[in-house]
């Protein structure tokens, strides 16, 4: 299928689990993706100028004074990852900036445009962390007072990083949207200049200096992968690359839980997501910027979505090659490069550049990353197996596992007839995991593959230990804001007649806590219970029919 220049196509590939958004006939993805479930929807892009005087992005990138505070970061080969993928993978090490993120480039370039009078009045920014640190350092360098509004759930490593650079920190709101609204209102009240995190031409131009360095550092490359949150970095990089070397593909990468650019490009207009996942908090943006969208719509070659498990695997990959630890949003582009390589097995020996965009990692989050990285790399299978409760059956099961390394094992007597086993097994790839499930099933063991089951991976693996005889139990998985009073608010909102029959919470170092709750709700209260869920305002997922719950916890 050929696409006229300037048209968009949406491709969904169930084999790899990746959605790929492509534009322009030159990208050629439509012939490379797995053949099943390829869907195309064509939208003519409508790019409108937001000002009567077009902004000269090329001149702004070439003359951006970012090196007053930023450094030219190296373009390092990830040798181990390159060998595994069959491509030369180069990492643009923006995690080595003074604030451990590329955000210093756009922040400083924006502040450098202010007059002495504007600098004297101070600046205000809203950010979950990386932009905040960039603005704080830029303001400190220019002798300007900076006030940074951050969500109350912002990681403390980023809050302390902002304070260490002399900025005033105001914690306000439970999410970026509320914080951003407050910051803009505060800027009006104080007469200060608001510094946008991404949707500003000078911010975009500052981020575009990343591409200027990449093209100078390497003469030949095939694809550049760029993380997308609000779209400032992707817009700047895509514009600069397409102006100078249009044959190089520029691919944006987003988490599946925060794919605002992919949704917007598919719709042909900016789309506001109802909610976003916060694991990769640096790119958790519900709506991309207006300027960013226009540039990405015109210059970006596509968008790949990646899962949280794939982000964890990418963090591990970078650590093994560099001994550096990226934050989840900093590893987005690397995860995208791996997903692209997996979707194009026939392409070998190409040069892939991935922007390692940040390293402001909360130490507490490393436990979760280590736990999920093997699954994200498809090197661990998580399965539930039912065996007869009789002598010798346990030994027979272990013989079927063979010499594979067992990463986790939970066994519990479940009654006189059968026992359920929750086991993690190290495998070479997803095909080996499927073959193991088939092998166990062929031996007469009822086997369920839980590798992609979020309930099993987040909660059940820590709760295996027996069933409870509980009537009218509803099981729900919530995302609680990590702030004082969140649980009390939940309990106060509940009806006094509903009993909590199960509760599991484990801190993963994220902005939101993952909580599993069992509640006894009589059938006569179903409507009232739904009203309670709707009014609560917390994201949730009903898990009452989840097979992992039915096997290990339900009566």
Position 293 pLDDT exceeds 80: yes
* Residue-wise pLDDT tens digits, 44-79: 343 444 445 789 999 999 999 999 999 999 999 999
pLDDT band at 375 (very low <50, low <70, confident <90, very high): low
Distance between CA atoms of residues 283 and 302, nearest Å = 17
Residue 117 to residues 52, 106, 114, 123, 417, Cα–Cα distance (Å)? 26, 21, 8, 11, 80
**Assigned token pair, 187:** 């800027």
Within 8 A by CB and 6+ apart from 548, the residues are 384, 448, 450, 453, 455, 456, 460
Task: Record the pTM.
Answer: 0.73
For the chain, domains (ranges, CATH) are 57-99+201-363 (3.40.50.1100), 108-194 (3.40.50.1100), 378-553 (3.40.1020.10)
Averaging pLDDT over each range in 108-122, 360-374, 414-428, which range is the top one? 108-122
**What single DSSP character describes residue 446?**
E
**Helix or strand or coil: residue 298?**
helix
pLDDT at residue 457 in the model? 77
Q: For the chain, give the mean pLDDT.
A: 83
Least confident of 30-39, 323-332, 349-358, 387-396: 30-39
The residues assigned a catalytic role are: 103, 357
């Amino acid at each position: 299928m050929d696409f006229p220049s300037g048209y968009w196509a949406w491709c969904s590939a169930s084999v790899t689990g990746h959605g790929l958004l492509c534009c322009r006939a030159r990208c050629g993805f439509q012939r490379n993706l797995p053949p099943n479930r390829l869907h195309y929807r064509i939208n003519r892009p409508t790019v409108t100028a937001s000002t009567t005087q077009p902004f000269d992005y090329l001149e702004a990138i070439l003359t951006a004074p970012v090196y007053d505070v930023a450094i030219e970061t190296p373009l390092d080969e990830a040798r181990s990852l390159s060998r595994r993928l069959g491509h030369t993978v180069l990492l643009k090490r923006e995690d080595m900036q003074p604030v451990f993120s590329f955000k210093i480039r756009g922040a400083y370039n924006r502040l450098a445009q202010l007059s002495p009078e504007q600098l004297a009045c101070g600046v205000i920014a809203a950010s979950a962390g990386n932009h905040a640190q960039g603005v704080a350092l830029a303001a400190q360098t220019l002798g300007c007072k900076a006030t940074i509004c951050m969500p109350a759930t912002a990681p403390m490593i980023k809050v302390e990083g902002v304070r260490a650079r002399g900025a005033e920190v105001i914690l306000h709101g439970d999410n970026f949207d509320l914080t951003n609204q407050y910051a803009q209102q505060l800027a009006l009240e104080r007469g200060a200049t608001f510094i946008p995190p991404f949707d500003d031409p000078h911010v975009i131009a500052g981020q575009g200096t990343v591409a200027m360095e990449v093209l100078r550092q390497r003469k030949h490359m095939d694809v550049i992968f760029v993380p997308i949150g609000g779209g400032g970095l992707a817009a700047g990089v895509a514009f600069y690359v397409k102006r100078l070397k249009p044959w190089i593909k520029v691919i944006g990468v987003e988490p599946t839980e925060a794919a605002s650019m992919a949704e917007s490009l598919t719709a042909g207009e900016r789309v506001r997501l109802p909610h976003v996942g916060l694991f990769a908090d640096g790119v958790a943006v519900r709506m991309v910027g207006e300027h960013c969208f226009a540039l990405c719509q015109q210059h970006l070659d596509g968008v790949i979505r990646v899962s949280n498990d794939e982000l964890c695997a990418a963090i591990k990959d970078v650590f093994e090659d560099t001994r550096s630890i990226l934050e989840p949003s900093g590893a987005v582009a690397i995860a995208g490069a791996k997903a692209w390589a997996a979707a194009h097995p026939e392409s070998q020996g190409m040069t892939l550049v991935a922007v390692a965009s940040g390293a402001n990692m909360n130490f507490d989050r490393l436990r979760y990353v280590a736990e999920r990285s093997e699954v994200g790399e498809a090197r661990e299978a998580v399965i539930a197996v039912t065996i007869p409760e009789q002598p010798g059956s346990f030994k027979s099961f272990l013989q079927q596992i063979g010499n594979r390394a067992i990463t986790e094992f939970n066994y519990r007597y479940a009654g006189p007839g059968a026992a359920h086993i929750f086991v993690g097994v190290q495998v070479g790839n997803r095909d080996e995991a499927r073959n193991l499930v088939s092998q166990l099933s062929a031996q007469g063991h009822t086997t369920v593959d839980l590798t992609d089951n979020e309930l099993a991976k987040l909660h059940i693996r820590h709760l295996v230990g027996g069933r409870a005889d509980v009537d009218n139990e509803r099981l729900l998985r919530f995302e609680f804001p990590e702030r004082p009073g969140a649980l009390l608010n939940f309990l106060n909102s509940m009806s006094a007649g509903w009993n909590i029959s199960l509760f599991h919470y484990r801190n993963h170092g994220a902005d939101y806590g993952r909580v599993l709750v069992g509640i006894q709700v009589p059938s006569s209260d179903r409507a009232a219970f739904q009203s309670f869920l709707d009014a609560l305002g917390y994201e949730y997922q009903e898990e009452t029919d989840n097979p992992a719950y039915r096997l290990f916890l339900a009566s």
